[in-house]
Amino acid sequence: MTDDLLHSLNDQQRQAVTAGGGPILVLAGPGSGKTGVLTRRIAYLIRAVGVRPWQIMAVTFTNKAAAEMRQRVQALVQDERLYGFQIGTFHSTCARILRVEADYTPYTKDFLIYDTDDQLSVIGRAMDDLDLDPKRNSPRAILNAISSAKNELILPHQYQSVDLFTEIVARVYPRYQRLLEQSNALDFDDLLVQMVLALRSSDMLREKYQQRFEYVLVDEFQDTNSAQYQLVKLFGAPQNNVFAVGDEDQSIYAFRGADYRNVARFRKDFPDAQVILLEQNYRSTQTILDVARAVIDKNTNRTVKKLFTTRKDTLPILVHEAWDDEQEARFVADQIDLLRLKHGYRYSDFAIIYRTNGQSRALEATFVHRALPYTIYGDVSFYKRREVKDVLAYLRLVSNPNDRVSFERVINVPKRGLGEKSIRDLFRWLDQEQISLLNGLERLTEGDAPPLAARALKPLAEFALMLRGWRSQAQTGQLLALFDTILAEVGYRLYLRESSDTPQEAQTREDNVDALRATLQTADERQMSLQDYMIEATLMQDAADTRTNEGERVTLMTMHAAKGLEFPVVFITGVEEGILPHFRSLEEPNGIEEERRLFYVGITRAKDRLILTYAFRRGLYGSSSVQERSKFLLDIPPQLIDAPPGTLRTDQGAAQFSSMTRWDGGMGRLKDDLARGSASSGRVIPFPRQDAARATQFRAGMNVFHEAFGQGKVIESRIDGEDEIVTVAFVDRKFGIKKLSLAYAKLTVLQ
């Protein structure tokens, strides 16, 4: 009766799906059918073991993944209703439970969830209260530190400072937390922390949920943080029917607290855990798997997996060295055209993956120029747009009139003549009188005159009256009507039109407001309360993101965004020191290993063809700089790199580049290095540096003046014996780009 669930599985997959109770750890390599195993396991529990859907808790890392998984499970259980089946992110699962069990927390059940922007403004206020200068200590860094502490379940009073910076954090953290509580708001991390604290503090509560959730399944286990790991253990106990699926090699979220060592911890905490390795890959050619493995095998502290495929076809991968990021983009475009023509690939078969968002620019410019259709995957979230945040803040203020962050956001949008000064005075008055924001506003409408500038009182009282009206309208439960009333009364649409620079911008922003309006319509249909809606809106930051992913387009994205996806042809661009690995990662402990995993994730997205590119020079932050190819390239065995003549490799470029500079490397060089064995000994042949002999007087990016040619910008400067050769692009098009010898030319630097 469960044949349909099991018939297409290999032995290891079947073992995972049908394993009995107790802790189970599935280490699933990329492309090994992990999601299929997870969904089938859930369906199997329901259909073959007789577990009721409401006894199952499944956790994913994104809302999108949760929605997809729910759908797949539904398809697998056919007509069975998934009544009470809990699937969601850790955060949404906790939010849901905490709403019901708010009595076990310092909050009331209509609590709010603050997103990162809200958090930053609270940090700002906390720092202001403590007389700390946000220029000396970045609020973002402090927020990160607090967030890390929370992920480690370190409470404000437990936070230990070890240096000056952490001393600042130690002061801000308690103040920040108190402000959150004052606004009845939790940040994302609090959802986890408060859940852990509640479960730990009350036997009754703990037993209630431990009994309810008999089976706990966790996806992307390598990306759990400490708090999440504790939650897994708390919900899983005492039966410990915990099914954890993950891959240490794909842990790429350390910067937000993910700790792949939780995999090892799980093995230690549950010594009787069954460990199942999924090593058969259903995605890539053997060469691609070998390349991936060569890269990742340099990492330590991992469970070694041996990925294999039964695919017989394979091609070597291609490594291409471009002159600069522009040429790199052109090469990518050329390859796409070539592969489409020669091998019948479609635009949608291609992905271009890079380390940093900024790298998309050169690619986009080239693609636009050549009319090559593309789409950027994972663009700025809908919910991050200003107009969306504004309107949500209005709703949130209605939902919780003590929410100071939302109040501050909307009080002067549109402009009401209420600036920073008035707000600070108002808050000071509230704190002095020890009354809530709502109370204060009410007193204003009754004619109470707090110590504020006289001209601020009227608009403030007007605002208070509007808010009162909205609050009573909210009682009717018609969210859409409330939304329309608010927009009309504050004149928000008019404001959008007036504050936009172009009619197009106004249109886009209004469209966004209408898209948000549609979500309220849905909420009404589902009879959601305003409070429920607010929680959903904060947690589901991707839900309303109606990106048109239709059509034949190549996909551009960061490596992080690429996780979980696959494409027939994958380009990884900018495989250079400083980019991959990223220079910022060098400061992090084990940063290099994380970068290596990132590269690994990128490589394993490819099904048939993998093309790695790097550039000799790259425009970073305006000025162009000389790049060195990534050391990761030297980990790839040379025999996997070549390409048969006439398939992919184009050699014309190299000659062209060498004539443009003294730099005489070429495309074959990497392979030559590797063949010579210099790679294994770790020797890297450095590019000639421009400043090798002595420093140049001029540097790229400098603005200069020449008596005959006028003003210009330095593109490049290099030492030539005793002389210095400066390449300058002159503002006057007549002169264009010129190479000047300092021995003759008079060139002065302009400030």
Residues designated as active site: 34-35, 219-220, 250, 605
Q: How far is the CB of 540 from DNA (least distance, A)?
A: 7
**Footprint of DNA on residues 651-680 (CB under 7 A)?**
none
Q: Which stretch binds DNA (CB under 7 A): 131-139, 277-285, 521-529, 640-648?
A: 131-139
Q: Tell me the pairing of strands 242-246 and 274-278.
A: unpaired
Whichever of 256 and 683 has its CB closer to DNA, that residue is 256
* Residue 412 interacting with DNA (CB under 7 A): yes
Q: How far is the CB of 426 from DNA (least distance, A)?
A: 10
Structure-token pair, residue 97: 């439970």
* Residue 358 interacting with DNA (CB under 7 A): yes
| Closest listed residue to residue 31, CA positions, set 243, 227, 311 | 311
* Residue 558 interacting with DNA (CB under 7 A): yes
* Residue 547 interacting with DNA (CB under 7 A): no
Structure-token pair, residue 169: 């954090």
How far, in Å, CA of 289 to CA of 637, rounded?
12
Whichever of 276 and 456 has its CB closer to DNA, that residue is 456
| Cβ neighbours of residue 124 closer than 8 Å, sequence gap 6 or more | 134, 139
Q: Nearest 5°: phi and psi at 679?
A: -70, -45
Q: Which stretch binds DNA (CB under 7 A): 354-362, 472-480, 636-644, 664-672?
A: 354-362
Q: How far is the CB of 14 from DNA (least distance, A)?
A: 30
- DSSP secondary structure letter of residue 582: B
Question: What binding mask, one character per residue, do residues 202-241 give for DNA by CB under 7 A, x or -?
Answer: ----------------------------------------
Kindly state the number of chain residues that form the binding site for DNA, as judged by CB under 7 A: 49
* Residue 62 interacting with DNA (CB under 7 A): yes
- DSSP secondary structure letter of residue 247: -
Q: How far is the CB of 109 from DNA (least distance, A)?
A: 18
How far, in Å, CA of 716 to CA of 346, rounded?
39
Looking at 110, 181, 542, 628, which residue binds DNA (CB under 7 A)?
Answer: 542
**Footprint of DNA on residues 486-505 (CB under 7 A)?**
none
Looking at 564, 619, 637, 668, which residue binds DNA (CB under 7 A)?
Answer: 619
Looking at 49, 453, 695, 737, which residue binds DNA (CB under 7 A)?
Answer: 453
Looking at 55, 240, 286, 541, which residue binds DNA (CB under 7 A)?
Answer: 541
Whichever of 189 and 259 has its CB closer to DNA, that residue is 189
| Cβ neighbours of residue 33 closer than 8 Å, sequence gap 6 or more | 9, 13, 278, 280, 282
CA distances from 107 to 91, 198, 209, 673 (A): 16, 12, 20, 63
* Residue 744 interacting with DNA (CB under 7 A): no
**Element containing residue 520 per DSSP (H, E):** helix 503-525
Residues 493, 510: contact at Cβ < 8 Å?
Answer: yes
**Element containing residue 216 per DSSP (H, E):** strand 215-218
* Residue 89 interacting with DNA (CB under 7 A): yes
Whichever of 46 and 540 has its CB closer to DNA, that residue is 540
* Residue 249 interacting with DNA (CB under 7 A): no
Q: How far is the CB of 669 from DNA (least distance, A)?
A: 28
Q: Tell me the pairing of strands 623-626 and 606-620.
A: antiparallel
Residues 725, 662: contact at Cβ < 8 Å?
Answer: no
Q: Tell me the pairing of strands 723-730 and 710-720.
A: antiparallel
- DSSP secondary structure letter of residue 45: I
Q: How many CA atoms are closer than 13 Å to the CA of 499, on its beta-carbon side?
A: 13
CA dihedral of 506, 541, 156, 182, whole degrees rounded to 10: 60
* 626 strand-pairing partners: 617
* Residue 116 interacting with DNA (CB under 7 A): yes
- Is 661 strand, coil or helix? coil
How far, in Å, CA of 406 to CA of 183, rounded?
10
Looking at 7, 81, 135, 312, which residue binds DNA (CB under 7 A)?
Answer: 135
Residues 192, 228: contact at Cβ < 8 Å?
Answer: yes
How far, in Å, CA of 152 to CA of 181, rounded?
20
Residues 614, 331: contact at Cβ < 8 Å?
Answer: no
Looking at 104, 159, 176, 188, which residue binds DNA (CB under 7 A)?
Answer: 188
Q: How far is the CB of 352 from DNA (least distance, A)?
A: 13
- DSSP secondary structure letter of residue 542: T
Looking at 468, 471, 560, 699, which residue binds DNA (CB under 7 A)?
Answer: 560
Q: How far is the CB of 412 from DNA (least distance, A)?
A: 6
Whichever of 421 and 689 has its CB closer to DNA, that residue is 421
Looking at 539, 570, 626, 714, which residue binds DNA (CB under 7 A)?
Answer: 539
Looking at 91, 171, 629, 706, which residue binds DNA (CB under 7 A)?
Answer: 91
Looking at 20, 503, 622, 645, which residue binds DNA (CB under 7 A)?
Answer: 622
Binding site for DNA (CB under 7 A): 61-64, 89-92, 115-116, 134-135, 138, 188-189, 255-256, 355-358, 378, 381, 412, 415, 417-422, 453, 456, 539, 541-542, 557-558, 560-561, 582, 584-585, 588, 591, 619, 621-623
